């Protein structure tokens, strides 16, 4: 679990920004979205295939 220690001279907004960045790096939000509802295996395969297609389209040389 990410932890942020707030220093005496630091404002709340900056500490919140650091906390959000640590959560993003740890992958907590993406994991939460992934487990929000049950995904059938066929839906998971379809999502992964679409992601691979998008990735190949971006990395393919012109």
Q: Encode pLDDT of 12-24 as tens digits.
A: 999 999 999 999 9
- Report if residue 6 sits inside a domain: no
2 secondary structure, DSSP code? -
pLDDT of residue 60: 76
**3 in Cβ contact with 21 (< 8 Å):** no
- Report if residue 55 sits inside a domain: yes
- Report if residue 4 sits inside a domain: no
- Report if residue 54 sits inside a domain: yes
pLDDT band of 52, cuts 50, 70, 90: very high
- How many domains in the chain? 1
- Report if residue 36 sits inside a domain: yes
CA pair distance 12, 6, nearest whole angstrom: 8
pLDDT of residue 40: 93
3-class SS at 10? coil
Helix/strand/coil percentages in the chain, nearest 5 = 65, 0, 35
- Report if residue 42 sits inside a domain: yes
CA 10 vs. chain centroid, Å, equals 26
pTM: 0.55
Mean pLDDT across the chain: 90
């Amino acid at each position: 679990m990410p932890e942020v220690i707030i220093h005496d001279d630091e404002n709340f907004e900056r500490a919140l920004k650091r906390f959000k960045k640590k959560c993003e790096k740890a992958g907590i939000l993406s994991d939460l979205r992934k487990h929000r509802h049950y995904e059938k295996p066929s839906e998971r395969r379809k999502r992964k295939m679409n992601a691979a297609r998008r990735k190949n389209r971006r990395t393919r040389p012109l």
